[in-house]
Structure 1
Amino acid sequence: MRDDFLKQLLERMTLDEKIGQLLQLATPFFKGSSSEGQITGPLEGMGITEETAQHAGSVLGASGAGEIMNIQKRHLEDNRLGIPLLMMSDVVHGYKTIFPVPLAIGCSWDLDLARQSAEIAAREAAVSGIHVTFAPMVDLVRDPRWGRVMETTGEDTYLNGEFAKVQVEGFQGENLSSSLEHVAACVKHFAAYGAVEGGRDYNTVDMSERQLREVYLPAYKAALDAGCEMVMTAFTTVNGIPATGNKELMNDLLRKEWGFEGVVISDWGAVKELIPHGVAADESAAALKAITSSVDIEMMTACYNDHLKELVENGSVQESLIDQSVMRILELKEKLGLFDNPYRGADEEKERELVFSKAHREVARRLAGKSSVLLKNDGILPLNKKQKIALIGPFANNNDVLGPWSWLGSKEDAVTMRQGFLSKVSSDQLIIAEGSGIEAMEEKELQEALEAAEEADILVLALGEKSEMSGEAGSRTNIKLPDAQLKLLEKLARTGKPVVSVLFNGRPLDLTEVKKASDAILEAWYPGSEAGQAVADLLFGDVNPSGKLSMSFPANAGQIPVYYNNYNTGRPKDAPDAQERFVSQYLDSENEPLYPFGFGLSYTSFSYDDIQISSSAMTGNETIQLSVKVTNTGKRFGEEIVQLYVQDLVGEVIRPLKELKGFKRIALDPGVSETVTFELTEEQLRYHHSNLEYASDQGDFIAYIGSNSRDVTGVKFQLI
């Protein structure tokens, strides 16, 4: 890092030029873009001048090596000091090669493939001219009504942290300064965006500091410990103060306690949104709150641009505070090598060669296969390639399988279920009928589906949500399949033919009715570019399902939030002396989810035997080993995800009934056993006490090992 060069550059900058570095504008504002900086429509109301764009520090949403190089070239011609632009975009689960949505990737429990998917996304983005991706999103979430659950890896603190780490490593590589094939990562949304009340996007977040630190913050910290260069603020309030103007959250915790020295950026328009939140009277007050809360870049509003200079001149803001933010931005540009090579990795020839290449698509296919979860199978899967198959449903030939944050992914390039099936069986063995639309059904469609069922030996129903039904601003109170699809499923189940339901969706659904009417259920999520091929691999048994849920599926929406690591109550339902009525329960539903965290079936079976613990007691400087013999008791090769949970039986504050502490993926041929060993340390038993001290308690614990959070075997030990 050339510190002297950056200091001298900062000294040469005018206050207007400094403030410009804090402004992020969308691509159309810049010369060299397709609009040539001529702004019309809603963006015109921002009042951004040509001079403002010349000073701006970063670009939102640019794509393609040619356009990005043009924008950079024109900008450098106009910018007095020749300060290059940072090009930032939402490369969430792929650039052009689209991988499964992050929630699905979480269900793979495959950290190596997750890292590889981020590496490929970075490679495609970098060669196309992008410098920063707004990923990973690590918001822990327990409410499937929230549309953005599809962007996170699930409900567990530990698992989310592991995925956060490998995604940052994949995006940024070992040394961001020396690699043109990687991009800077921006972890989001800080903090606890996934805890919005009622699962409603942009809504309030309110919780104790202990809960925030215990459950929601660790995944962000894991990303930063992995070297993540940037942090994006959440849209929401955190304990009564919007994150974008929250000094305690951004200055005290992120900067001082955690020591984060990188760039903080607001989410789209979040600085100006301090006004409707009710903590700023006007744009000037919003700018003051955000800059004094250590927000370096304002995305797509102009509060900084219009008011920071006046705030400096009247003494409300010290120019040294502006300098700190500008220096952080300049340091990132220097780390990316932009002062020496403002076009960095952008290369139109390599772009044509690398982007959406066969090798990248093959990885997407593998990850989609590992991300899908087999929820039910009454012995009818895998499909027999000699059977006559009716492929029915609104996703039978639908390419809306990329998910709502696929940005540059092309639906036209996505492999449909029909195409995937025809790669396995001949066209005379396959009958296709739509049966219904996503949300509506015509009688003619139903009749065609029933006729197709009549001819077939087995029915495969391709069902789910259109992508707009999840993602940002995709919150829903009804998380069942639409009525039209449930009606289609019910009618076809009455034919007596075996029914396989394949689901394409971005959130855990209430599948109670689907489970009753289906002989098998495969949760495919939005699998990405190779969707149809990956699903066909699974259904026909060329790939054995191994995915496990990273988020619980409710039995009905009234249970929400329902998650595995919940606390006990003073009147637990399963207590030995529990009364029939006066316990913590629903009168009209079970307490438990329909499908628990960590659950997933295979075409083979596994037994867990001979659980051993190296010692029944451990001290603070010791570790204990836990082992279990896992045997493939079926007739097929398969992969199993062995999971370790711990329960602290007596704590200073209440403790979860189970907490995931480790997992291992093993691959076994039929009849083969493997002993899986875990190490458990005192550090893994720590938690935040009532005074926020992070420490363990001496006493009794249970370690559980099993195939999911419900089906486990426990052994006791003590911390002494």
Structure 2
Amino acid sequence: MRHLPLPAPTRRMLLAGGAVAAGLMMAPRIAAAQAQANLDRVNALIARMTIEEKAGQLTLQNDPFRWRPEGVNPGDTLDTNQEQTAAEIRAGRMGALFNGVGAATTRFVQEMAVRDSRLGIPLLFAADIVHGLRTTFPVPLGEAASWDLDLAERTARAAAVEGGAAGVHQTYAPMVDIGRDQRWGRVVEGAGEDVLLGNLFAAARTRGFQGDDLKAWSSLLACPKHFVAYGAAEAGLDYNSTDMSELELRSVYLPPFKAAFDAGALSTMSGFNDLNGVPTSGNKWLLTDILRGEWGFAGFVVSDYTSEEELIAHGYAADGRDAARIALMAGVDMSMKSGLYMKHIPDLVQSGDVPMARVDEAVRRVLMTKAALGLFENPYRGSDVRVERRVTGSREHLALAREAGRKSIVLLKNENGLLPLPKTGQRIALIGPFGADKVDLFGPWSIFKDARLSVSLEEGLRAAMGAGGSLTVVKGSDVEAPIAGGVETAVIAASQADVVLLAVGESQNMSAEAQSRVDIGLPEPQLALAEAVAATGKPVVVLLRHGRAVELSGAVKDAPAILATWFLGSETGNAVADVLFGDHAPTGRLPVSFPHFSGQSPFYYAHKSTGRPAASRDEGFKAQFRETANAALYPFGHGLTYAPVQYSPVRLSAPAMGWNGELTATVTLTNRGAREASEVVQLYIRDRAASITQPIRLLKGYRRVTVPAGGSVEVSLPLRFADLLFLGPDLEPTVEPGQFDVWLAPNAQAGEPARFSLTR
């Protein structure tokens, strides 16, 4: 099949992560005069620095001063670790601290660097503010279920306000790894399995964290992670090796990073994994050739927690000195936690194993970023306790957390219109380990949460039901262990109720870093509880708590109504009550596919056809499992509302698209229900024949519309020439004349396509 040349702008758009990159908002750029002034200042500092001071600027350690709410203040007695860290700061051998927060101690710590060190270079304070500081928002995967970019930007902005007021300058977020294997625990931190959705959320969260002015106290420097392909670890095993073609890397795993950088991110974090035999924290091709050479990234690269030291365990470096050399020469500018740069850079330079120019380059990147953040002019930003008290856990942030929570909930199933429930007039039994829980509702990476702000399911339901409601709460079992007499008590409560709310799922420790699972089903004690409760014959509404797509089985799978509620954060109970009782209809859509069985993993909608696709379960010698079709139980994009919406066949504005042209796809939505419905119309395409095999469907756009009760709306989405591009055999963007399928559908497994031709 012959490749046809593309116009240069189109080629750049694909390298930026697809046609979508053309619409990404660029972060405000530093004025040229200010950038030159920053460069002059930085170069003057570098000229005065000793090699130890340079190594210090490239060294990042835990913050021992601000890990407690009260912090450390002048006159306090320092412990041994604090004394040692203070000495390093004053000697100019420390450039940054991480995972300490609190305005009260910020000035005290920063003064060690600004007033007591020889050159007065301010410290950079960083923290893992992934989905909120004190106010906790839904985990990123849950929030991605909102398909709402404005919401993601606003929650990141609120997190930045609270983090900035607590003396933080940089957050180690967003995580932009594509997650297609639900066994991997860190799926919870990203935006799911799709490249387009990943691109869009990466950019939105970057804009939210950084705001309009990097120098503002409320701005957090974004740090997209983990560069790169960490989400494709073999067998979904955290920290494991990744092996893939460059075509797959550039088509799927690199684009969300580019989207974040195009949105203004000035830092990134290297991954733990090795890629095709080379650890990413020692991979010059990734960190220098692509990141710097191809993309022109101007910020700095920080290693993940000791990831450069782990080059030794990978078998890629002989010892700590060798690991420091490899990582630095590959493009890792800042060393997190290991201390290898401080320990070995002076000798590496003296011996000639690392050129001074490379050290200066890394220092320049770090100092230029500090200058962009305004730290030289205002090193004490975030040290005002009054501002911290005013913005932390504010009514506005809690209201946003509640909004984000309810918009993240996905209605997976609702047989016979069981939901929404009335608030009064029936007896409700809330059964399961998460009914009264106020610990696991936050989700992983909520290390700075304010537990006092948590609203449990029980509290949210009681508040919504008021004095006239009837709610019985029984735990029934722990998350992973039975409770003596728990099932029996739960059965009694269910028997006396009119409807059962079954609050089951994962704990926050089950869906997190280092929490890979061979079985993504619910723990056996909870399944046993579900079976016993279902045997009472009472209608059951499952309230899933989870950080990944899970395998549903038995009574949980068969329940007439199922809500995917993820880890929703501070306002969990209120958000769930809003949807459960119908004050707000469910609007979420899945960002990951729920497989029928764990053994289908990795499973994602945008897979290839293979040469033997299975049209039905009756066919033999086809690409399918013995036990199930090669399909999802609940596919990517799936989500119900409280009104049934029907889709008409897709209509195209023309039977063919000309070269560099576009066409419009249109569908009519009809609401047969008595409530208005919020519907997410999803545009998918398939290239029927190409020089590189293409996915069976690929999301290219979506639009949320409101369909009035008993009414219809016509929805049109554009399909542009740039949406048809793919990377060809030479890894260059291309497109070829031929036939394409196009769907406007409610999920990645629904609908019938229309077909058009691309002509030259």
Q: Which bracket does the TM-score occupy, shorter chain normalised?
A: over 0.9
Find 2:149's aligned residue among 92, 111, 127.
Answer: 111
1:398 counterpart residue number = 437
Asked whether the equivalents of residues 62 and 68 of structure 1 are also in contact (C-alpha less than 8 Å), the reply is no
Stretch of structure 1 that moved more, 186-195 or 677-686: 677-686
Unaligned runs of 5+ residues in structure 1 are none
**Alignment partner of 1:647: what SS?**
strand
Asked whether the equivalents of residues 271 and 303 of structure 2 are also in contact (C-alpha less than 8 Å), the reply is yes
**Alignment partner of 2:595: what SS?**
coil
Find 2:707's aligned residue among 639, 662, 668.
Answer: 668
1:640 counterpart residue number = 679
2:17 counterpart residue number = none
CA deviation after TM superposition for structure 1 residue 206, in Å: 0.6
1:484 counterpart residue number = 525
**Alignment partner of 1:651: what SS?**
coil
User: What is the distance in 2 between the residues matched to 1:712 and 1:514?
Assistant: 29
Asked whether the equivalents of residues 20 and 52 of structure 1 are also in contact (C-alpha less than 8 Å), the reply is no
- TM-score normalized by the length of structure 2: 0.91
User: What is the distance in 2 between the residues matched to 1:183 and 1:47?
Assistant: 24
**Alignment partner of 2:223: what SS?**
strand
1:101 paired with 2:142, answer: no
Find 1:497's aligned residue among 514, 532, 538.
Answer: 538
1:16 paired with 2:52, answer: yes
What amino acid is the match of 1:711?
Answer: A
CA deviation after TM superposition for structure 1 residue 677, in Å: 1.7
Find 1:424's aligned residue among 464, 469, 480.
Answer: 464
2:600 counterpart residue number = 559
1:537 paired with 2:537, answer: no
1:460 paired with 2:501, answer: yes
What does the per-residue CA deviation read over 1:181-203, in whole Å, with 9 as the maximum and x for residues that have no partner?
21110000000110000111100
1:581 counterpart residue number = 620
What amino acid is the match of 1:67?
Answer: T
Asked whether the equivalents of residues 27 and 33 of structure 1 are also in contact (C-alpha less than 8 Å), the reply is no
What does the per-residue CA deviation read over 1:242-289, in whole Å, with 9 as the maximum and x for residues that have no partner?
000001111111110111111100000011101000010011110111
**Alignment partner of 1:713: what SS?**
coil
CA deviation after TM superposition for structure 1 residue 625, in Å: 1.3
**Alignment partner of 1:589: what SS?**
coil
What amino acid is the match of 2:589?
Answer: K
User: What is the distance in 2 between the residues matched to 1:603 and 1:666?
Assistant: 15
Asked whether the equivalents of residues 629 and 675 of structure 1 are also in contact (C-alpha less than 8 Å), the reply is yes
User: What is the distance in 1 between the residues matched to 2:394 and 2:338?
Assistant: 37
Asked whether the equivalents of residues 88 and 94 of structure 2 are also in contact (C-alpha less than 8 Å), the reply is no
2:61 counterpart residue number = 25
User: What is the distance in 1 between the residues matched to 2:406 and 2:705?
Assistant: 16
Q: Percent identity?
A: 43
What amino acid is the match of 1:313?
Answer: Q
Stretch of structure 1 that moved more, 455-464 or 340-349: 340-349
The 5-angstrom pairing of residues 82-481 of structure 1 reads 82-177=120-215, 179-378=216-415, 379-385=417-423, 386-399=425-438, 400-426=440-466, 429-481=470-522
Asked whether the equivalents of residues 429 and 493 of structure 2 are also in contact (C-alpha less than 8 Å), the reply is yes
Q: 1:30 to 1:508 in 2, by over 3 A?
A: closer
CA deviation after TM superposition for structure 1 residue 568, in Å: 0.7
2:3 counterpart residue number = none
What amino acid is the match of 2:58?
Answer: L
The 5-angstrom pairing of residues 683-702 of structure 1 reads 683-702=722-741
Unaligned runs of 5+ residues in structure 2 are 1-34
User: What is the distance in 2 between the residues matched to 1:383 and 1:393?
Assistant: 19
Asked whether the equivalents of residues 490 and 517 of structure 1 are also in contact (C-alpha less than 8 Å), the reply is no
Asked whether the equivalents of residues 391 and 430 of structure 1 are also in contact (C-alpha less than 8 Å), the reply is yes
User: What is the distance in 1 between the residues matched to 2:449 and 2:169?
Assistant: 19
Q: 1:290 to 1:516 in 2, by over 3 A?
A: closer
Asked whether the equivalents of residues 28 and 37 of structure 1 are also in contact (C-alpha less than 8 Å), the reply is no
Asked whether the equivalents of residues 93 and 121 of structure 1 are also in contact (C-alpha less than 8 Å), the reply is yes
1:5 counterpart residue number = 41
**Alignment partner of 1:641: what SS?**
strand
What does the per-residue CA deviation read over 1:194-239, in whole Å, with 9 as the maximum and x for residues that have no partner?
0000111100011000010011111111001111111100100011
User: What is the distance in 2 between the residues matched to 1:260 and 1:81?
Assistant: 27
Asked whether the equivalents of residues 29 and 53 of structure 1 are also in contact (C-alpha less than 8 Å), the reply is no
What amino acid is the match of 2:399?
Answer: E
**Alignment partner of 2:101: what SS?**
coil
Q: 1:30 to 1:38 in 2, by over 3 A?
A: farther
Tell me the C-alpha RMSD between the 2 structures. Answer: 1.9
What does the per-residue CA deviation read over 1:142-176, in whole Å, with 9 as the maximum and x for residues that have no partner?
11111101001100001100000111111111332
CA deviation after TM superposition for structure 1 residue 47, in Å: 10
Asked whether the equivalents of residues 164 and 219 of structure 1 are also in contact (C-alpha less than 8 Å), the reply is yes
Asked whether the equivalents of residues 676 and 706 of structure 2 are also in contact (C-alpha less than 8 Å), the reply is yes
**Alignment partner of 2:473: what SS?**
strand
User: What is the distance in 1 between the residues matched to 2:386 and 2:530?
Assistant: 49
**Alignment partner of 2:412: what SS?**
strand
CA deviation after TM superposition for structure 1 residue 580, in Å: 3.2
- TM-score normalized by the length of structure 1: 0.96
2:670 counterpart residue number = 631
Q: 1:30 to 1:76 in 2, by over 3 A?
A: farther
Asked whether the equivalents of residues 93 and 342 of structure 2 are also in contact (C-alpha less than 8 Å), the reply is no
Stretch of structure 1 that moved more, 65-74 or 147-156: 65-74
What does the per-residue CA deviation read over 1:454-489, in whole Å, with 9 as the maximum and x for residues that have no partner?
221111111111111111111111211111110010
Stretch of structure 1 that moved more, 509-518 or 408-417: 509-518
Q: 1:250 to 1:595 in 2, by over 3 A?
A: same
What amino acid is the match of 1:55?
Answer: R
Asked whether the equivalents of residues 133 and 163 of structure 2 are also in contact (C-alpha less than 8 Å), the reply is yes
CA deviation after TM superposition for structure 1 residue 75, in Å: 2.6
What does the per-residue CA deviation read over 1:426-468, in whole Å, with 9 as the maximum and x for residues that have no partner?
4661111111111122342112111111221111111111111
2:587 counterpart residue number = 546
Asked whether the equivalents of residues 236 and 243 of structure 1 are also in contact (C-alpha less than 8 Å), the reply is yes
Q: 1:691 to 1:48 in 2, by over 3 A?
A: farther
Find 2:111's aligned residue among 73, 91, 115.
Answer: 73
1:654 paired with 2:693, answer: yes
Asked whether the equivalents of residues 598 and 708 of structure 1 are also in contact (C-alpha less than 8 Å), the reply is yes
User: What is the distance in 2 between the residues matched to 1:115 and 1:262?
Assistant: 21
User: What is the distance in 2 between the residues matched to 1:484 and 1:52?
Assistant: 54
1:597 paired with 2:636, answer: yes
What amino acid is the match of 2:444?
Answer: P
Asked whether the equivalents of residues 393 and 435 of structure 1 are also in contact (C-alpha less than 8 Å), the reply is yes
CA deviation after TM superposition for structure 1 residue 529, in Å: 0.4
What amino acid is the match of 1:390?
Answer: A
Q: 1:359 to 1:579 in 2, by over 3 A?
A: closer
What amino acid is the match of 2:192?
Answer: G
User: What is the distance in 2 between the residues matched to 1:275 and 1:599?
Assistant: 44
What does the per-residue CA deviation read over 1:36-56, in whole Å, with 9 as the maximum and x for residues that have no partner?
76445xx99x99964687421
Asked whether the equivalents of residues 489 and 517 of structure 1 are also in contact (C-alpha less than 8 Å), the reply is no
Asked whether the equivalents of residues 662 and 718 of structure 2 are also in contact (C-alpha less than 8 Å), the reply is yes
User: What is the distance in 2 between the residues matched to 1:224 and 1:9?
Assistant: 27
Asked whether the equivalents of residues 380 and 519 of structure 1 are also in contact (C-alpha less than 8 Å), the reply is yes
User: What is the distance in 2 between the residues matched to 1:291 and 1:50?
Assistant: 21
Asked whether the equivalents of residues 374 and 601 of structure 1 are also in contact (C-alpha less than 8 Å), the reply is yes
**Alignment partner of 2:104: what SS?**
helix
**Alignment partner of 1:129: what SS?**
coil
**Alignment partner of 1:17: what SS?**
helix
1:680 counterpart residue number = 719
Stretch of structure 1 that moved more, 272-281 or 629-638: 629-638
CA deviation after TM superposition for structure 1 residue 515, in Å: 4.4
